[in-house]
Amino acid sequence: MDASTAVQAPTVKLLINGQLVESKTTQWRNVVNPATQEVLARVPFATPDEVNAAVANAKEAFKTWRKTPIGTRARIFLKLQQLIRENMKELAALLTAEQGKTLPDAEGDVFRGLEVVEHAAAIGNLQLGELANNVASGVDTYTVMQPLGVCAGITPFNFPAMIPLWMFPMAIATGNTFVLKPSEQDPMVTMRLCELALEAGIPPGVLNVVHGGEDVVNAICDHPDIKAISFVGSTKVGTHVYNRASLAGKRVQCMMGAKNHAIVLPDANKEQSINAIVGASFGAAGQRCMAISVVLLVGEAQKWIPDFVAKAKALKISAGSTPGTDVGPVISCAARERVEGLIERGIADGAVIELDGRKPNVPGFEKGNFVGPTIFSGVKPGMSVYDQEIFGPVLCIAGADDLEQAIEFINANPNGNGTAIFTQNGAAARMFQEDIDVGQVGINLPVPVPVPLFSFTGSRASKLGDLGPYGKQVVLFYTQTKTVTARWFDDSTLHHGVNTTISL
Ligand code: NAD
């Protein structure tokens, strides 16, 4: 924390009861441009009183918001999607400045969130109950999907637009009120989106934002007035959040870490497959939860390693704001040091370094947190570069004799976030789809993040909780199903006397 740098940089505000307010905390952190180390802003670590105030306002606002007509709720998100489109360039520039990814990729980050806002605008078709007529004589049963109350979201640094937009639009559209805790590493674009949400008509108290780290997250997990938490971030923190908040009686969903493998069969279209995998490995400097970080080359495809290296070598490393950049900086100096340390351990563990991206020369951005594309071959389980989620531009290559062996290899990894197969053989692709134990499966597609008609998911260590964020599943996550069984007496349904048996 950088209390001493209480200087000129603007402060990031809290959002409480519809007002952007200055925190009274004494703990602040700098928000830093990872390409230049320029301090862009200072973000507060909210006090317990501020967290309580956010939750209390959300609780109060819920009393009226839960009964607000569907059309009114939906129209706010229609307006918000328009505002996001109108401000796309500004949002992307802010995102690139604080997060580091390239401007086109930042627009993609905003756009994938925008799709969820559009989906929230269709809430009238999503939050529908069921009715069974005449379940007994003169009796109907129907369900209503009611909002839970105050819900909370905790988000990671790597998609500071998309992931907050996975959360608050669907929670609020279903009639809940919300407290968001953005990543303290890049909260500025998230705040700008929240300002646009206010402009779109979200009433005071319905959307609140508190900033901070561990203490604020723990306060959210423990708060008795918060009913549900959606978390996206690392497996370590997500597991902690899941356990702590579940113990406090909350509904929790945690989307967590990854080690995403791609299988390349020798019949794959070579050029297309290598382009796709190199883009998915090194795009966003490898800091996507769906980045391909391991490639299993099957049979003859093992001869393609030099082609991967040639493609990766040709990528342009620079600041995300520089036109034509392919690979921007990683989020922080600490992240750069961690990635470099893992590369060192990979070499020490006996993996073959085919391309070493450490300490690249990036003219004009000498202070940036850059790591260039790095490729290891001969990677095996037990090596740190395989066992850990590197979350940087490092691709591990291993070989497999056949598809069955490759599937077994992937299923033995603890993570199950995303995976992909490259082949022209439909039967092989179908076998992969059936037997792989991973949430998001791509066929000739490296980053199969589902659009909001579906829901993001995850298997094994990559996810805790049974329902996913956004899409159909999140409507169930953010609502409580109430089942009503009703009889209206008329002459034909009148019963006589007391009935003590279980029947309708
Ligand atoms: P992180 O777990 O460090 O942080 C996530 C959130 O938890 C942040 O808001 C942070 O402030 C908070 N936090 C950090 N340390 C904490 C602690 N000790 N106690 C309580 N709260 C704490 O994750 P990150 O580094 O911001 O993001 C990268 C991770 O997120 C990667 O592991 C990536 O795979 C994962 N991720 C997963 C998905 C998915 O959908 N599965 C999507 C994006 C990112």
Residue nearest to atom 17 of ligand 1 (CA): 214
Residue in 221, 289, 333, 396 annotated catalytic: 289
- H runs (alpha helix) in 413-498: 426-435, 471-477
Measured over the CA atoms of residue 217, residue 232, residue 99 and residue 150, the dihedral's sign is negative
Ligand 1 atom, smallest distance to 456 CA? 40
C-alpha to C-alpha distance for 295 and 308, rounded to whole angstroms: 10
Residues 6+ apart with CB under 8 A from 103: 92, 93, 96, 320, 321, 323
Q: Strand 251-255 and strand 463-464: pairing? A: antiparallel
Residues 6+ apart with CB under 8 A from 49: 24
pLDDT the model gives residue 258: 98
Ligand 1 binding residues, C-beta < 6 A: 154-159, 181, 183-184, 213-214, 217, 232-234, 237, 240, 255-258, 289, 389, 391, 417, 456, 458, 462
Ligand 1 atom, smallest distance to 159 CA? 43
Residue nearest to atom 20 of ligand 1 (CA): 214
CB 320 within 8 A of CB 35: yes
Ligand 1 atom, smallest distance to 235 CA? 32
pLDDT the model gives residue 504: 64
The SS3 assignment for 152 reads strand
- 217-247 residues labelled b (16+ CB within 10 A) or e (exposed): bbbbbebeebbbbbbbbbbebbbbbbebbbe
- The label of the residue with tokens 């989020």 reads 331
Catalytic residue at 289? Answer: yes
- The label of the residue with tokens 């392919």 reads 326
pLDDT the model gives residue 474: 96
What spacing in Å lies between the alpha carbon of 233 and ligand 1's midpoint?
3
The residue ranges of the chain whose pLDDT is under 70 are: 1-7, 492-495, 504
pLDDT the model gives residue 501: 85
pLDDT the model gives residue 500: 85
C-alpha to C-alpha distance for 243 and 257, rounded to whole angstroms: 16
What spacing in Å lies between the alpha carbon of 369 and ligand 1's midpoint?
19
Smallest CA-to-CA distance from 269 within 445, 441, 398 is with 445
